[in-house]
Amino acid sequence: MKNYPEHYKELSQWMGKLGQVQPDVMQGFGKLHESALKPGALNTKTKELIALGIAITVRCDGCISFHVHDALQAGASKEEIAETVSVAILMGGGPSVVYGIEALQALEQFLEKGV
């Protein structure tokens, strides 16, 4: 089983390194990320849950790490994340079951770390 809190830390470090070699791209991505997730008609928690559902359906384990972490930080409950997994399964079929399980594993690991 993947250690999602460690995966989150490692990806964060590598994103910083990528930002050193491609600063314009990563600054642009950072600005897009900030703008897309700021509260508007939808609050940040809802947007993080949407991003998590998409991460599951496109099978991006790094995205799962980030969006489970960030959804928790934005105030999402375990139940809200579990329901997000169920909607992703509806939209993504069998592969989303597998990646939904990974999201639940990430959730448990982040909760154990007190995130």
**Over the stretch 40-60, which tens digit does the pLDDT of each residue have?**
999 999 999 999 999 999 999
pTM above 0.75, yes or no: yes
By residue range, what is the domain housing residue 75? 4-112
Domains contained in the chain, number:
1
Give the pLDDT of residue 1.
84
- Mean pLDDT of the 6-23 span: 95
77-109 pLDDT tens trace: 999 999 999 999 999 999 999 999 999 999 999
* Residue appearing with tokens 């491609």: 22
Cα 42 to Cα 24, 48, 59, 65, 88, distances in angstroms: 28, 10, 24, 22, 19
pLDDT at 115: 85
Helix axes 78-92, 44-57, angle to 10 degrees: 40
| pLDDT number for residue 81 | 98
Cβ(85)–Cβ(100) below 8 Å: yes
CATH code at position 72: 1.20.1290.10
Are 34 and 45 in contact by the 8 Å Cβ rule? The answer is no
Kindly report the average pLDDT of the chain as a whole number: 96
What's the confidence (pLDDT) of residue 8?
A: 95
Task: Give the pLDDT confidence score for residue 16 in this predicted structure.
Answer: 95
